[in-house]
Amino acid sequence: MTDYSDLLAAAQQDPSSADFHALRMAYTRSDRYRPYTQQKGLITALDTALRTSDLDTALDVAKQLLAANYLDIEAHMAAAYVYTMQENVEMAKHHQLFANGLIKAILRSGTGRDPDAAFIVIDIPEEYTIMRLLGLEPSSQKLLNYQGQWIDMMEVHARDAGDDATAFKLYFNIDLPRAWLSRRMDAHNAAAQEEDSP
């Protein structure tokens, strides 16, 4: 089984030939995987910088997000945009290839139209990235345990369809982040029991 660090280094060297599904799965097995650790301050700063066209700040924040998690799709898209605006073609291409590879890995994991073919995500923000890129707006969410799998069921509609938009369901498999959370809770409970033991 290939180490995440090795796969990441190879993908960074040549994203055009990377196996992004294997990279994503290796990441979830690594000690760097932290699906419920969200950099909310940085995400807000990035959004503000992009909205105000503060490209230098946006790039700096995107780099910080990628330092924490190089599989952050939104950070790659932001970096690609900034580098495009700065006419740095090589770096813009690198980050766009990375973003595209990560997005395609999710879209190829299923159709998203039923629980058996749910999109496989490695953290919850990926759900909202995919919905946004598909031009969809969520109206409600429900957590399902479907045949032993944890599924986020999203009621969605086309963003630009107006009030008459037909709603439908989109499904995301969240087994990977849930398993990480379960392992963390088990470790915490085991440590607590040791402390309480005479």
Which H, E and C letters describe 141-198, residue by residue?
EEEEEECCEEEEEEEEEECCCHHHCCCEEEEEECHHHHHHHHHHHHHHHHHHHHHHCC
Task: Using alpha carbons, select from 118, 109, 179, 111 the residue that is nearest to residue 146.
Answer: 118
pLDDT bracket for residue 75 (50, 70, 90)? very high
Question: Where are the domains positioned within the chain?
Answer: 4-107, 115-196
Cα–Cα distance, 5 to 43 (Å, whole number): 25
> Pairing between strand 149-158 and 119-120?
unpaired
Q: What is the pLDDT of residue 184?
A: 84
> Pairing between strand 168-173 and 149-158?
antiparallel
Judged by DSSP in three states, 140 sits in strand
Single pTM value for the model: 0.90
Q: What is the pLDDT of residue 195?
A: 62
Torsion angles phi and psi, residue 136, rounded to 5:
-115, 150
For 180-195, write each residue's pLDDT tens digit: 999 888 766 666 666 6
Q: What is the pLDDT of residue 161?
A: 74
For 96-148, write each residue's pLDDT tens digit: 999 999 999 999 999 999 999 999 999 999 999 999 999 999 999 999 999 99
